[in-house]
Amino acid sequence: CYEVKLKKPLGIAFEEGSDGGVVVQYLVEGGNAEQSGVISAGDALLATTACMGRDGTFERKVIPSRFLDFDTIMGAIGSNEPKFSKTRTNDVILQFARPGAPMENEGDPYDGGSRGVKDYLKSLEFPKDSPWLKR
């Protein structure tokens, strides 16, 4: 799994994944994603920053998006606007997994093993009383 911070427009074409969520279909030539040198076609989006207003304030959080529908994910990415960023930048933080990334932990991640995608996604879950779940 890896994380990248990109300015908008991202320069990424996403498509719906066969098991939910979205994967990178292709990168726009010369776009911000291609220039990052990190993202590849086929990478699965695990999480993205999203902005939400509540009680007159706004929050920007990393939300798990691996199994959300296409329109919800695109809305989350689109919600990242400079007015919601502490640094007033027009960027998005995206977390991806490469095709074939292990779903399960391989050994103990705290003792030389590697963390699987399922364990990583579980760490991003919101508490049951989170206002982000009440949208």
CA 73 to chain centre: 8
pLDDT for residue 24: 97
- Report which DSSP code applies to 103: S
Mean pLDDT of the region 71-100: 88
Q: Say yes or no to pLDDT of 105 above 70.
A: no
- SS3 of 108, please? coil
Q: Above pLDDT 90, what percent of the chain?
A: 45
Longest CA pairwise span in the chain (Å):
45
Single out the residue of 117, 74, 123, 72 nearest to residue 98, CA to CA: 117
Average pLDDT, the chain: 84
Omega prior to 99 cis, within 30 of 0:
no
Which residues, listed in sequence order, are joined to residue 52 by a DSSP beta bridge? 59
pLDDT for residue 132: 57
Q: What is the pLDDT of residues 28-55, one digit of tens each?
A: 999 999 999 999 999 999 999 998 877 7
pTM (two decimals): 0.80
**Vertex 30: Cα angle to 90 and 17 (nearest 5):** 75
Mean pLDDT of the region 56-81: 89
Q: Say yes or no to pLDDT of 110 above 80.
A: no
Cβ atoms of 33 and 12 closer than 8 Å: yes
